[in-house]
Amino acid sequence: MTDPTTNEFSEFSITQIDVDLDVQEILLAASQHDIPKLRRLVRTPSAHADGANVKDPETGYTPLHSAIAACEPEDAEETNGVNGAPANGDEPDANAETLKTGAETVRFLLQEGAIWNDLDNNDETPGCLARRIGAIEIYEMLVDAGVRAEMLLGRLEGYGLLSDGEDEEDEQEEEGADENEAVPELVDATEADVATVTTTGERLANPEVSNPGYLDSSLNITRDRILDSDQNGVMMGWETSIMQKSAQKLLPRPGLKVLNVGHGMGIVDGFFQEQSPAAHHIIEAHPDVVAEMKRKGWDTKPGVVIHEGRWQDILPGLVGNGETFDAIYYDTFAESYSDFRDFFSEQVIGLLEQDGKWGYFNGMGADRQISYDVYQKVAEMDLFEAGFDIEWEDISVPKLDGEWEGVRRAYWVVDNYRLPLCRFMD
């Protein structure tokens, strides 16, 4: 392209060509697993300040995508084992060296700040791609990168809240303090972790719905589902078998006290009632659900106490009154992971009997397998820190293709549900 008035290339055109060439050179080096060249390219000042996260405009591939895509076996039938192992197991794997250099390249890019969950134009993260082609070692590396990012986000968030509560005198005393002393949790954090954490954020039950927005919306409540006014799935009947299993584990015999946070369609509360609990407290925040509960007579069922409002407002009062429970279940909508962490670290410890059990609907990140795997590990670490042991049971989830008709977004796509059962540590 030339400027018709000067017959010279415009500065914009030259810059655009240089930028495109930079991008393609980085992506090519990534696909060739050429770490020395990648190191030079991503660390050399250029039009791209963040060379580890450039994108191909046609495919949306980042360097991570390119490095992983190059590991896909040419003949999937001959090389379809774990990490590209040959199906018959008799001959050395021709793809093993490619997988090895691919893993080394992925490790380098993550250290340089590559984003573990960036999406390409096919709506795949690098981890999704690694899982699809059977590069399990690389997939686990990306899961671990996601865990580091999410854990660091929690630490940064906690430090931010602490800072907000400091008075001016404390702030003046800390002026000039060493940076590592100010944030001791981050001393061992890598530059890549800090770069990546800003991209992950808090994952809501539905990332497009805020909790206040949900509570203000009108719900469409039918026999087999609850949808909000934007057709987002709040709760659906396919969850019944999961709720039944959870209720049986939490409340194995009659005469116990149970607390459920989030009534929804009343599925888990129905199974709790089958065990004739001595006390059955239910917290429900949405006025439409509360109205439906009363229409169905939940306020007259044996032992049932309905608390109308958000658990954040109700639970401190129960703790203050000395209420304790043998079993607690948590299943809310459009709340963040930090809300969930506050629930078990600040409230459950004051409400659960010493030998009691509690659980939750484990749907965090279930719209993508790698996100689901990341959140299991993050939750496990945070629960351990809060003083809880957790047991997992894998439950196969049937194909749900027909379940999403009329629903804006499929909030569950993974094959297996991991049912959590939590107790105080011995």
CATH, residue 296? 3.40.50.150
Are 14 and 113 part of one and the same domain? yes
Assess if residue 147 is contained within a domain.
no
Q: Which two tokens stand for residue 243?
A: 């709720």
Are 97 and 11 part of one and the same domain? yes
Confidence (pLDDT) at 94: 63
Assess if residue 65 is contained within a domain.
yes
Only one residue has tokens 């930079």, namely 22
Give the domain extent around 351.
211-424
pLDDT in tens, 160-218: 555 555 444 444 444 443 433 333 333 333 444 433 433 333 334 445 688 999 999 99
CA atoms within 13 A on the CB side of 76: 5
Q: At what angle do helices 35-43 and 96-111 cross, to 10 degrees?
A: 20
Task: Count up the domains in the chain and report the number.
Answer: 2
Q: What is the CATH number of the domain that holds 10?
A: 1.25.40.20
Are 391 and 248 part of one and the same domain? yes
Assess if residue 69 is contained within a domain.
yes
Assess if residue 101 is contained within a domain.
yes
pTM (two decimals): 0.82
Assess if residue 78 is contained within a domain.
yes
Assess if residue 36 is contained within a domain.
yes
Which one of 110, 142, 174 terminates a domain? 142
Are 223 and 317 part of one and the same domain? yes
Are 262 and 131 part of one and the same domain? no
A 10 A CB-CB count for 253 gives 9
Are 268 and 394 part of one and the same domain? yes
Of the candidates 237, 270, 275, 242, the residue with the CA atom closest to the CA atom of residue 257: 275
Assess if residue 177 is contained within a domain.
no
Which one of 112, 142, 172 terminates a domain? 142
Are 116 and 230 part of one and the same domain? no
Are 225 and 136 part of one and the same domain? no
Confidence (pLDDT) at 317: 97
Assess if residue 252 is contained within a domain.
yes
Only one residue has tokens 């906690």, namely 158
Which one of 97, 116, 142 terminates a domain? 142
Beta-carbon contacts of 344 under 8 Å, excluding residues fewer than 6 positions away, are 330, 358, 382, 383, 386, 388, 422
Are 243 and 136 part of one and the same domain? no
Per-residue pLDDT of the chain (426 residues; tens, 9 = 90+): 445 445 554 554 544 545 588 999 999 999 999 999 999 999 887 656 799 999 999 999 999 999 999 999 987 554 445 555 444 444 446 689 999 999 999 999 999 999 999 999 999 999 999 999 999 999 999 999 999 999 998 877 766 555 555 444 444 444 443 433 333 333 333 444 433 433 333 334 445 688 999 999 999 999 999 999 999 999 999 999 999 999 999 999 999 999 999 999 999 999 999 999 999 999 999 999 999 999 999 999 999 999 999 999 999 999 999 999 999 999 999 999 999 999 999 999 999 999 999 999 999 999 999 999 999 999 999 999 999 999 999 999 999 989 999 999 899 999 999 999 999 998
Are 119 and 215 part of one and the same domain? no
Residue 121 three-state SS: coil
Beta-carbon contacts of 146 under 8 Å, excluding residues fewer than 6 positions away, are 116, 117, 127, 200, 370, 371, 373, 374
The two beta strands, 279-284 and 304-308, are: parallel
Are 224 and 373 part of one and the same domain? yes
H helical segments located in 32-95 = 35-43, 63-69
Confidence (pLDDT) at 115: 97
Are 105 and 237 part of one and the same domain? no
Confidence (pLDDT) at 178: 40
